Amino acid sequence: MKARNRQALATGQPDVARQYAAVPWRMRGGFLEVMLVTSRRRGRWIVPKGWRVKGRSPSESAEREAFEEAGVIGHVGTEPIGSYHYSWPGEDGSRELRYVTVFGLHVLGTLVDWPEKGQRKRMWWPLDAACEAVAEPGLAELLRSLSSHSGSAGRSVLTGPSARQVKSYHFRQATA
């Protein structure tokens, strides 16, 4: 494991890799929609996620992944909306446990061109359909937990407990 990219969990599990993800969301016709992207290797529907970026907080790292993988910009909540874990297959046949902390990202704009445009597809989904589309059971469960909060309550769950805790990063900063 590369120390600069992965962190041991506070639970004392040194072999667990930590990633950060964003659930890009918007309200459309009074209903909550989330954006999913395809994974590069197998084309499965996932949320944008990756390793912590040096010099950035976990939420800022998740926001950066959403920009790179989905081509979206907006407001990211500073408090996680949940977490899940999954097992990643290594090239040698081993399995690596990865723990993902998830942040809500209220999308203000989608870009025509973005860093991973040629490597992934992106699509807006009604929340219930997104739960069925994702392959990771933990991610599906996290999305299902949001469906009970759809509407204005869903917005507060996705952005965190207070508008003061929501940061906005402009496109210029996201590409720096």
Which residue is associated with the tokens 């009604």?
126
| Segments making up each domain of the chain, as ranges | 17-167
164: CB partners within 8 A, 6+ apart: none
CATH code for the structural domain at 17-167: 3.90.79.10
pTM for this structure? 0.79
Q: What is the pLDDT of residues 53-82, one digit of tens each?
A: 999 999 999 999 999 999 999 999 999 999
Q: What is the pLDDT of residues 89-137, one digit of tens each?
A: 888 888 889 999 999 999 999 999 999 999 999 999 999 999 999 989 9
CA distances from residue 102 to 76, 83, 99, 176 in whole angstroms, order as listed: 11, 5, 10, 23
